[in-house]
Structure 1
């Protein structure tokens, strides 16, 4: 067993007695120290500078980082719970700005659409934990039925279940028959998704309804999408006035807005309307990229999941229409990503987890590097950039005064970005959830 874990057990037997044989847990925190914590590692990623600082000691009191130094700590007083992470590099907990915790890519596509809200909630509990243990300590959940993920978020915040910090939008706002409506059911069932709203005032009312039931972010579906029936990915569906009404209401209430937008016209309308981030960004021309740069709009491009969909989608029951739409957007989306990176657009990490298995989020880092980012830029997209999008000035860095969301990998991810696919240490809010 890891020596540090054994030390924690010795110091806190009442909390750890049932974990003696475990170095990785699945439903509760590994340890919460009774006194301040000291992490010692080979180095840490200074994400603001984009470089590795060698030989680091990080002091943590409660859920807050109080000091970060390269000076060798004095341990004579025994006043700290020491966690020795020799051979590892520390990073701030990484963030995924586009997940759907209620869905599993491995489930049959059409059958899973019939899952009840309680069933979806159970899925979200499981996937929240998997996401946290993969090193993603904050996520934005961009759409779920029945306010299920809002309930999971509240359970996490109450300390009842394990999971990342969650910004949840409630129901995605869409037009009748558009992406984010339910177009798979027969007409006689008269099923309409709960986020459907037609016209600016109806859209504003839907935003208010989401906020009423706990949403702390908002999503609009400005264009068609890959995994909906009867929509064209490049075609705008919400009008400018409808998008603008959602943005105005959300911003007035202090919430950020994500816009699902594959097509060029929908991307431009969303930027003009003042959304905070564009999701997918598949068909961006030069003007759209320049508009995003000028407006400071963040771009979130899910460029990993294509491989999974094309390899396993058919076997998992994804209809031919949707497979063909994935083929249509995949190269265009990656080309748009590359051009946006070269142009200097603001980028955040968004994976669309649920289109591929939760917990594999970190596999997107290597794709981001493959298609144009440096390893430092890829890490910044999931740390300081995502924190800025969320307007969180105490997340995204290992720095005094910041919340103690810290992960570690074996080696230096600036030398090998794929190391982020195997996070070996996870701390969130000063609590250790994983140590290998």
Structure 2
């Protein structure tokens, strides 16, 4: 009865908008992602600034509770830090493939982003790295979320992708010359100096991470995924310029040589990494780079792509590369390459289904603890936000999710969080707005 009364009181408090007082969150268990262990009776005190001010576990250790604090008892659940997806496209819709996107106005995709941001937050992803958008949509979403206009995760935006003319990042790829020649792209260039200039422009306009297309891709129409599209010199200019500005760099790279040149150039995360080899693993370990491999996507693309209008050429490429990417994931993990959680969600499969990838990561070699760490504390390090997210220790944001059971035994529990709390405010759960 006392537990039910506490939960009822929590429901009344949960709908409060900005954090106006400290919040005390209690539950049956807590997963520490760094140690990979389950702890009992956690008490998390989140201050009025949305950050954790105290954490205690076990019946004996109780932190000081600020006067007037709101109490939120989540019941018989396991809490863990809010999840981080290191590769999303908030302004994408996986159900609108191929040429179908040309039927919509340019600003339609910003509206898609508003809906997708809420879906990802309610799925438990309280932080995301948006690796590419049109028209600075991800910066607009970040501003709208931070000012309270719409709900969504914390966003680290890349803005436009940087790439070669006619390459995977060229938004006019697939159009006839009579159209593409009239639509100069703001994100393509040629030569190291042009690449430096693009980095400076994107940083000026709100980019907090830089994304480059080192090789061809799967969902582009005419290029080969394994073909390198930027030279080593161009990628090194991008990495050097970004690092000078305090930005990390992510490289879309399927092909072996493109992956290896990106690593030699000093790029921080390799996205997809489908055809990485033993040299790639060695370079990544030497340079401290991370692999960010979206290995769930093959299931969705091959099952739903044709219905969604995905180009036949893209489906053929996915059939050639999907299985190889999963085998590379297993080999990279076995070799000790650092790996993070990234899904391509929004652009490749429907927004909010991000957590489907956890089971695939476990199927292909990770333990549940490793997969969860890839989406929490390890992701926070790669994101360069380790002091803010990825853990529930004092100083970090009060971002957490709750699941009904032990995710170390069943990682699929993460697909259905019962509660999502961002900065001490309930985003999903009884009483959520």
Structure-1-length-normalised TM-score: 0.92
Provide closer, same or farther for how the CA distance between residues 341 and 376 of structure 1 changes in structure 2, counting only shifts above 3 A: same
Map of 1:24-423 to 2, 5 A cutoff? 31-32=17-18, 34-62=20-48, 63-72=50-59, 73=62, 79-181=68-170, 182-189=172-179, 190=181, 191-353=183-345, 354-392=347-385, 393-423=387-417
Identify unmatched segments of 5+ residues in structure 2: none
Q: CA deviation at 1:316?
A: 0.9
SS in 2 for 1:146: coil
Deviation at 1:4, TM superposition (A): 5.8
How far off its partner does 1:74 sit? 8.9
Give the distance between the partners of 2:357 and 2:380, measured in 1 at CA: 18
1:34 deviates by 4.0
Kindly tell me: are residues 248 and 384 of structure 1, through their superposed partners in 2, closer, same or farther at Cα, counting changes over 3 Å?
A: same
Does structure 2 retain, via aligned residues, the 8 Å contact 1:96–1:139? Answer: yes
Aligned-residue offset at 1:109: 3.1
Farther off after superposition, 346-355 or 54-63: 54-63
**Relative to structure 1, is the Cα distance of residues 75 and 146 closer, same or farther in structure 2, using a 3 angstrom cutoff?**
closer
Q: Secondary structure at the match of 1:98?
A: strand
Secondary structure in 1 matching 2:74: strand
**Change beyond 3 A, Cα 1:75–1:295:** closer
Shift of 1:5: 7.0
Distance in structure 2 (CA, Å) of the matches to 1:319 and 1:350: 23
Distance 1:336 1:113, change over 3 A: farther
Q: How many residues align?
A: 419
Q: Distance in 1 between matches of 2:17 and 2:32?
A: 26
Closer, same or farther in 2 for the Cα pair 1:74/1:149, shift >3 Å?
closer
SS at match of 2:46: strand
124-133 or 99-108: bigger deviation: 99-108
Pick closer, same or farther for the CA change 1:314–1:76 going to 2, 3 Å.
closer
TM-score normalised by the chain length of structure 2: 0.93
What does the per-residue CA deviation read over 1:352-409, in whole Å, with 9 as the maximum and x for residues that have no partner? Answer: 0120001000000000000000000000101111110111122101112211111111
Kept in 2, the 8 Å contact 1:283–1:333? The answer is yes
Structure 1's 118 and 6: CA in aligned 2 closer, same or farther, altered over 3 A?
farther
Counterparts of 1:335 and 1:76 in 2: how far apart (Å)?
50
Task: Tell me, in whole angstroms, the C-alpha distance in 2 between the residues paired with 1:426 and 1:9.
Answer: 13
Q: Structure 1 residues 326 and 55, CA, compared in 2 at 3 Å: closer, same or farther?
A: same
User: Could you say if the C-alpha distance between residues 11 and 398 of structure 1 is closer, same or farther in structure 2, counting changes exceeding 3 Å?
Assistant: closer
Indicate the RMSD between aligned Cα atoms, in angstroms: 1.9
- Gaps in structure 1 of 5+ consecutive residues: 17-29
Greater shift in the superposed pair: 394-403 or 70-79: 70-79
Distance 1:435 1:75, change over 3 A: farther
Q: How far apart in 2 are the matches of 1:255 and 1:57?
A: 35
2:1 paired with 1:7 = no
Give, in whole Å, the separation in 2 of the partners of 1:92 and 1:170.
26
Match of 2:141, SS? helix
Kindly indicate whether the alpha-carbon contact (under 8 Å) linking 2:121 and 2:152 is maintained by their aligned counterparts in 1.
yes
Q: Secondary structure at the match of 1:87?
A: coil
